[in-house]
Amino acid sequence: MSVHGVRGFVKVVPWCDDVQIFKVLPVLYLDCNGLLCENISQVKFVKNFVLVRFSHADTVEKASQFLGRLLYVDRCSIPLKDGEIFIQDLIGVKVCDFSNKEVCYGNIVEVLKTGANDVYSILDEKSGVRRFVPVIDSVVLEKDLDNNVIYINVLEGLFDV
């Protein structure tokens, strides 16, 4: 994060899928516990960055207090479309076979963004085997997040080494 211009804008490197979300955020938090927050007064977009001006920081000097800090959002302030979930809610979810629900391949440890589709990185902690599952309709057949499990169709060759 750095200061941008002379009117107190802070250049933020976003860690989100869609930077437009900054348009609807009322505040950003300065700590992961949500105890320190700053109201957002203005947002602009420049290249891969978000320029944020906080209500109480309208000068370079005041904005410089935010340099080098991680900023957090309250997940309740992010509107999700029907069926959307946060990636962090997938971490740790068990992945099992749709046709034989007793067969499980491990837990999701990472969600990779490939451009065409997401890919679940699954780790079987017992064997140490890591597998990759494309998040496409013909493979991911059911998401039962209430029970912390996703059922997949293992296409021929999907897990071949």
In the chain, the domains with their CATH numbers are: 2-77 (2.40.30.60), 87-152 (2.30.30.240)
Sign of CA pseudo-dihedral 106, 109, 113, 118 = positive
For residue 4, give every residue at least 6 positions away whose Cβ sits within 8 Å of its Cβ, in sequence order, or none. 10, 11, 46, 49, 51
85 close to 144: Cβ distance less than 8 angstroms: no
| 0.85 surpassed by pTM | no
- 29-80 pLDDT, tens digit per residue, is 988 888 888 889 989 998 888 988 888 877 777 777 777 888 899 988 888 8
Q: Could you give the 3-state DSSP secondary structure of residue 127?
A: coil
Q: Could you give the 3-state DSSP secondary structure of residue 131?
A: strand
